[in-house]
Structure 1
Amino acid sequence: MDTFVIVVFVLTYLGMAFGSVPGLKIDRTGIALVAVVALLLSGKVGVRAMGSSIDVPTLLLLFALMIVSAQFQLAGVYDSVATRVAGGSGSPRRLLALVIVAAGGLSAVLANDVVCFAMTPIVAEGIRRRGLDPRPYLLGLVGAANAGSAATLIGNPQNILIGQVGGLDFWDFLAACALPALASLVVVHVVIAWIWRAELDRTPAPPPPPATGHQLHRWQAIKGACALLGLALLFAAPLPREVGAMVIAGLLLASRKMSSREMIGSVDWHLLLLFACLFVVTGAFADTDLARQWVESLAENGLFPETLGAMLPLSLVASNSIGNVPAVMLILAVWHTPDPGALTGLALLSTLAGNFLLVGSMANIIVAERAASVGAKLSFGDFARAGIPLTLVTMAIAVAWLWLGGWMTW
């Protein structure tokens, strides 16, 4: 009987939607891990089957990219950029533009979750010292981080997964998604500047003296930049992407200045564990008769997200109910024959859909939690106020681009 597996699967994805369990201090990663334990204990999933259902190459690539990001973090790049942006001269709208350009640019080449984690408290405190409301700037930060990360296959976890599963070419993906991602950054600025115009009409106080605690280690930053260049070259070589990334990560760990313990400690192990556990849970569900019947029904009725008419609502609803990473993992678990164009559309649209509501992406949650830790409150309504219109506009642009470029049909 598949009933137990189906119940565990449903409860797991309800946990992904709500993010916690009432009365328990357990988060999404903990929920997914408990689900795997339940499957193991019941005998519905064996240890060997569990190992075979985990996409190790994807986890290796994600780990290696986190090491590259840790190089930038420990070199003080994120802190330095955030400090310079928050202390920039000019009008509030110019400050907002600086935040958007910095977050979007960094997120295109580094994981957007890490960019948000590092930049949020510094931007919040820096903007507040200028006598300004930090909320529109934080919304600009996360909106740009999501939009900018849509440009590349290494910008966010779901793109990394899609690229690995589909074997997508790094440069072809960039050609397909760079322009709509860039246009989305402009939309983020325009929408936030309009909706938060009252807060952005204030005159900022003079920039405070540079913070002494945020030192940029130039040589280590240069090493990080060289690592990114090396990644780009290796991605163009006939070498598995995860192998090339691990080579770069290994070279960075062999450092005379940076402690390997500190660099490995900067890896988001919670996210890696969440990925591994969701691979097991979705893999177990995909092997059930219900999943097979569901796939057959979707195929018979033409409901697979192979067209924009199906992909658009699916990306928007799934990303803002269970989150874009779990949504993508679930879709890929039952969609066995996607073409490269459809996978490109899934990556672009699921990422942009993450700006719709607070629960749409992990980056949103990270910004809200990190902002709260320094006294800057971002409510669900704050996110929705700007997120809903900017998401609808950016997704409309992306849909038009995918259709006109021939990547997907309507």
Structure 2
Amino acid sequence: MTATIVTIFLVVYLGMILGGLPFLQLDRTGVALLGAIALISVDAVGLEEAAGSIHLPTVILLFSFMVVSAQMRLGGFYDWVTHRFVSLSFSPPGLLGALIFGVAALSAIFSNDIVCLAVAPVLIDACQRRRLEPMPYLLALACASNIGSAATLIGNPQNMLIGQTLHMPFFAYVGEAMVPVTFGLLATWALITWQVKGRWSAPASAAGTFDEAARRTDEVPLDRWQTTKGLAVAAVLLVAFLVGPWPREHVALIGAGVLLMSRKMHSTRTLGLVDWELLILFMALFVVNHALQQSGVTAAVIADLAAAGLHLDQLAPLFGATFALSNLVSNVPAVMLLLPLAHHEMAGPLLALVSSLSGNLFIVGSIANIIVVDAAARRNIGIDWRRHATVGVPVTLVTLAISAVYLALRVHFGASGG
């Protein structure tokens, strides 16, 4: 049975690497789900055991904030904010800075994927109106959304998983993450500004690419009531997370329920923006990883690596493993694999920061990157892997270096502040 479990696990994670399986119409979610089904089918995991292996608080928290973020998108909040940013009478570098920090703030509270989905088309049209080259702003949008999502335990799915599993205090983590995130955003602005070398204006040939019909189709007008309702619920949730004794998933689920009770916005519209595939991916990977851990293979591999001098529960090897696995199998599966090794008091912040920041390396490292690239393609703006890498690679290396230095200083001077 152990050989069967290991084989299924390896096939699933091969699918995570490839984004699917050869000759089959499966994406990562389909591969993970098929793996969980196979494990149940061969009695490697019982039905009740499979259900029990799913970390329900994380799934509930993720679902709840998908509802909150969907509310903000349907209320036109993201479109309105984007228009406000690009209408500022800033110089192009100043506008880039405002965009980077604004997107980061949104991504720290709402889903970075939905933020990019809503902001990208509006940003492109606004840049074309101002005759600005949209490329640096689009790359900044992708990078800032990933960096900003690292600032809180609700900024992205893997951070939610880390926070819920390790029972990390919300405010304490924000305090840890704020320094590397802030310096990372400043470094991102400096790197992109340096690469542009003053060439901010779009070529004259690009002036005719503005598509007014596409703009009207994509743009969501501001609904002040729905936006206020969403912001109020988000604010209450943040306050509850900071000072309340209640479980985060309970409070978040109540907030989602409040938003779904609407006289004007049908629940099908809100639930239609929930990323059900991501939720299924989470649940299936919980089952697959649980089966491997129960087989004893994981413990044996960790012991063998430790005997060879590689102690993955120590911060430096954990840092490297998180970076490598996040780019190999993507950040959520990587975090699921490494969470059992998070014994050090700084392991939680390390996992959250490194897995989030690693997403900027290549286009496929983050769903947010893919969303921005797809939005650009629909406006006839090509961002291939080479163009993305010219920004993504240095941004990733610099932000990870900043995080490494910060974490090293925190450990050296005492994680508890001593």
Instruction: Give the conservation status (yes or no) of the 8 Å contact 2:260–2:270.
Output: yes
CA distances 1:142-191 after superposition (whole Å, capped 9, x unpaired): 10001111110000111000000000000000111012111111111111
Name the structure 1 match of 2:118: 118
Select between 126-135 and 42-51 the one with higher mean Cα deviation. 126-135
- Number of residue pairs aligned between Structure 1 and Structure 2: 407
CA distances 1:363-382 after superposition (whole Å, capped 9, x unpaired): 22222233323332221112
AA in 1 matched with 2:255? I
Percent identity of paired positions between Structure 1 and Structure 2 = 40
Distance 1:198 1:17 in 2: 38
Name the structure 1 match of 2:74: 74
* Pairwise CA distance, 1:273: 0.7
Correspondence list, 1:16-35, <5 A? 16-35=16-35
Instruction: Give the conservation status (yes or no) of the 8 Å contact 2:345–2:415.
Output: no
Name the structure 1 match of 2:195: 195
2:44 corresponds to 1:38? no
Instruction: Give the conservation status (yes or no) of the 8 Å contact 1:79–1:118.
Output: yes
Match of 1:215 among 216, 221, 224: 221
Distance 1:143 1:122 in 2: 17
AA in 2 matched with 1:257? K
Name the structure 1 match of 2:247: 240
* Pairwise CA distance, 1:297: 2.7
Over 3 Å counting, the alpha-carbon distance change for 1:303 and 1:243 in structure 2 is farther
2:390 corresponds to 1:391? no
Match of 1:404 among 384, 406, 409: 409
Distance 1:237 1:408 in 2: 24
Name the structure 1 match of 2:279: 272
* Pairwise CA distance, 1:272: 0.6
Instruction: Give the conservation status (yes or no) of the 8 Å contact 1:342–1:408.
Output: no
* Pairwise CA distance, 1:281: 1.0
Match of 1:225 among 231, 235, 238: 231
Instruction: Give the conservation status (yes or no) of the 8 Å contact 1:33–1:274.
Output: yes
Distance 2:172 2:151 in 1: 11
Instruction: Give the conservation status (yes or no) of the 8 Å contact 2:306–2:312.
Output: no
Name the structure 1 match of 2:52: 52
Over 3 Å counting, the alpha-carbon distance change for 1:306 and 1:41 in structure 2 is closer
Runs of 4+ in 1 over 6 A off after TM superposition: none
Over 3 Å counting, the alpha-carbon distance change for 1:162 and 1:302 in structure 2 is farther
Name the structure 1 match of 2:171: 171
Q: TM-score, normalised by structure 1?
A: 0.92
Name the structure 1 match of 2:99: 99
Over 3 Å counting, the alpha-carbon distance change for 1:90 and 1:203 in structure 2 is farther
Over 3 Å counting, the alpha-carbon distance change for 1:89 and 1:18 in structure 2 is farther
Instruction: Give the conservation status (yes or no) of the 8 Å contact 1:86–1:95.
Output: yes
Over 3 Å counting, the alpha-carbon distance change for 1:208 and 1:30 in structure 2 is closer
2:324 corresponds to 1:317? yes
Tell me the C-alpha RMSD between the 2 structures.
2.6
Over 3 Å counting, the alpha-carbon distance change for 1:408 and 1:321 in structure 2 is farther
Q: TM-score, normalised by structure 2?
A: 0.90
Distance 2:257 2:148 in 1: 27
SS of match in other structure, 2:263: coil
Correspondence list, 1:268-347, <5 A? 268-300=275-307, 303-332=310-339, 334-335=340-341, 338-347=343-352
